[in-house]
Amino acid sequence: MSRQRDFRRVFRGLRFRLTISYAVLFTVLLTGVALTFRARLASGLDNQIQEELNGDWAAMKGYMRIEPVLDFGNRICSAWYYDGDDPDETTIVLDTRKIYLVADQFGNPIPDSVTHEPSVSTAYDDIGVDKPADIRKKVLEAVASPKPKIFWEDRKTSTGEPVKIRSGIVFSEGHGAPYYVAIGASYADNVKTLHAYTWIFAGVIPGALLLGSLLGYYMAGRALTPVLAVAQAAQRISGSNLSMRIPTRDAGDELDYLILTFNRMIERLEASFQQMRQFSADVSHELRTPITAIRGQLEVALFTAQTTDQYREAMFNALTDIDRLSQIVRALLLLSQAETGQIVLQKSRLNLCEVVDDLVDQFQIPAEAAGVRLTAQLPPECSAEVDRVQIERMITNLLSNALKFTPEGGAVTMSLQVEPQFIELVVEDNGRGIPTEHLPHIFDRFYRVPGQGTAPSPEQGLGLGLSFVAWIVKAHNGKIEVESTPGKGTRFIIRLPNEGVGSDTMELARQPAGY
C-alpha cells in the first residue's frame, strides 16, 4: 500500500513531470528535425537524378538522328552517330542506350538503323514498354505545349529496382515529324541512401530520447534538491524556534529569492510572536500589580484596620486599583473590538476648538501636578464632522503621553489650525523625545520605547495609546506624523480632511499601523 503511494508520489512529483515534458518536447523536436531533413534529402536526391537524366537527354540529342534509312526499305529509323573508336563517345552513347525507347507519334517503336530491331532497350522492355495510346497522348500534349514538354515517371524493373524515366518529343530533322523518345536511369542508390538515413534516425531518436530523459531526470533532481532542503528546513521551524532561518545558497537565483522571502516571513512572524509574548507578560504584570495591591488593601482592612477611617482608606485604595484594573480590561476589550472591526464611528458636526479647549482644561490639574506648563493655541471656530468620543480619546492619549514623558519645568502645547484642505492638530512637548530607531514602531500595538535600565519604567502603559491614535486618525481619513529629537521633545502632527470624512466602519484588523 505504502509502496503504491510512493509510486504515485513519484509520478505526481515535479521531477517526473519535468522529465516527461522534457522528453515530449525532445521527441517532437527531434522527429520534426529528422522529417524535415529527410524530406530535403529526398528532394535533393530526386533533383540529382533529374539533372543526370537532363544531361543524358542533351547527349542523346547530340548523337541520335531520326531519319529514313535507305538500305532498310527507306523507313524511318533511329540512327546513332558516334565515333566507335572514341572511348568517351562510346561510353556516353552506350550509357544513354541502356534504358531507352524511340517511337513514332502513334506510339509504335521505330526500328534501329543498325540492328533493324525496334528502338527499345531490353531494360526498357523489362519495366514495361509504354502503351501506344499513352505515347500518343503525351506526343499530342507535347506538340500543343508552347514550351518544350518533359514527362517524368517512376517505374520499377522486374527485380524491383527503381527507375526514373524522362520522356518528351524530338523532331525528325528530315521531315519535321515529332517522335517520342524516353530515356531512364536507375536511382536505387538514392533509395538506399534514404533508407540508411531513415534507419539511422529510427535508431538514434529513441536512444537520444532515453539519454535525454535520463539527463533531464537527473538535472530536474539536481535543480529540485535545494527545494526539498528548503522544505525540510521549513518543517523544522515551529512556534518555539522561530529564530531559525533557512540558509541561503548565495546563488542569487529564484530559489534564493524564495528562501529570502520565506526568512522575512519568519522574521515577521517571530516579531509578532514576540509581541504577543511580550503582551501576555505585560498584561499579566499589569493585572497582577493592582490585584496584589487590592489584596493587600483588603488584608489590611480585614486584619489590622480598627477605625472607620482606616477601613475607608483601605477601601478607597482598593477602589483606585480596581479602577486601574477596569481601565486595562477596557483597553483589552476595545482592542478585541478593534481587531474584529466592531468599532463604528458616530460622527456629528461639532466645534473642534471647544473639544480641544475642554480637554486642555481637564489636563491642567495633572499638568500642574507634574510641574508642566500646558497651553493651547486655538482659532475661535473650527467646525468638523468627527466622532467626538474617538477624537477625545485621540487627544487624551497624546496629551497624557506628552505629560508623562515631559519632566518637571517642561512645556506641552496643543495647537489647532484650519487650512482650506485640512485641519491640523499639533501636540508638542519639550520632554525626553523618542530615539530615531524607535520612531517607526511607536504606532505598533504594544510597542513601548524601552526605558532607561532593564526594568520597565513605571510611567509606561500597555503600549496601546498611539495604536489607538493611529487608528482614529485613519478612520477619519487623516494622516499622522511624528517628529522627535531625543532630549529635546516630540511633536505629533495630525491632519484631518476639512470637508467630509470617510467610511463609518473601519475594520481594524486591516490597519497596517495596528488601529
Out of 352, 434, 475, 506, name the contact with ligand ADP by CB under 6 A. Answer: 434
Quickly list H helices, 161-244: 188-236
Residue bearing cell 512529483: 13
Is position 472 an interface residue for ligand ADP (rule: CB under 6 A)?
A: no
How far is Cα 490 from Cα 167, in angstroms, rounded to an integer? 107
Query: Of how many residues is the chain composed?
Result: 515
Shortest approach of ligand ADP to residue 260 CB, angstroms? Answer: 31
Q: What's the grid cell of residue 143?
A: 506538340
Q: How many residues bind to ligand ADP according to rule CB under 6 A? A: 22
CB nearer to ligand ADP: pick between 109 and 463? 463
Stretch that binds ligand ADP, among 16-24, 38-46, 356-364, 456-464 (CB under 6 A): 456-464
Which of 104/429 has CB closer to ligand ADP? 429
Q: Which stretch binds ligand ADP (CB under 6 A): 73-81, 265-273, 307-315, 428-436?
A: 428-436
* Among positions 490, 508, 511, 513, the unique one binding ligand ADP when judged by CB under 6 A: 490
- Residue placing its CB nearer to ligand ADP in the complex, 290 or 431: 431
Helix (H/G/I), strand (E/B), else coil: 460: coil
Q: Could you tell me the three cell numbers for 345? A: 464611528
Q: Please give the span between the terminal C-alpha atoms of the chain, in angstroms, as a whole number.
A: 53
Instruction: Give CA–CA dist 513/444, Å, rounded.
Output: 6
Which of 92, 338, 466, 475 contacts ligand ADP by CB under 6 A? 466
410 in contact with ligand ADP (CB under 6 A): no
Does position 460 bind ligand ADP by CB under 6 A?
yes
Q: Does 449 bind ligand ADP (CB under 6 A)?
A: yes
Question: Is 396 a binder of ligand ADP (CB under 6 A)?
Answer: no
Q: What angle do helix axes 188-236 and 254-299 make, rounded to 10 degrees?
A: 10
Q: Is 212 in the site for ligand ADP (CB under 6 A)?
A: no
* Span near ligand ADP by CB under 6 A; candidates 134-142, 246-254, 263-271, 441-449: 441-449
When asked if residue 463 is in the footprint of ligand ADP (CB under 6 A), the reply is yes
491 binds ligand ADP (CB under 6 A): no
Q: What does the alpha-carbon distance between residue 460 and residue 156 come to, in Å, rounded to a whole number?
A: 107
Among 402, 423, 494, 513, binds ligand ADP (CB under 6 A): 402
- For position 442 contacting ligand ADP by CB under 6 A, the verdict is yes
Which of 15, 97, 138, 448 binds ligand ADP (CB under 6 A)? It is 448
Task: Look up cell 511580550; give the residue.
Answer: 278
- Tell me if 401 contacts ligand ADP by CB under 6 A: yes
In this chain, which of 431, 471, 476, 496 binds ligand ADP, going by CB under 6 A? 431
Q: Are 406 and 431 contacting, i.e. CB atoms less than 8 angstroms apart?
A: yes
Closer of 184 and 465 to ligand ADP (Cβ)? 465
193 touches ligand ADP by CB under 6 A: no
User: Helices marked H in 97-186 — which ranges?
Assistant: 122-127, 132-144
What single DSSP character describes residue 300?
I
452-480 b/e with 16+ CB inside 10 Å = b? eeeeeeeeebbbbbbbbbbbbbbbbebeb
Binding track over 349-388 against ligand ADP, x by CB under 6 A: ----------------------------------------
Which string of DSSP letters, residue by residue, matches 397-430?
HHHHHHHHTS-TT-EEEEEEEE-SSEEEEEEEE-
Shortest separation between residue 474's beta carbon and ligand ADP, angstroms: 15
- Tell me if 194 sits within 8 A of 165, measured CB to CB: no
Residues 6+ apart with CB under 8 A from 184: 53, 99, 100, 123, 124, 127, 155, 163, 164, 165, 166
Contacting positions for ligand ADP (CB under 6 A): 397, 401-402, 405, 429, 431-434, 442, 447-449, 460-467, 490
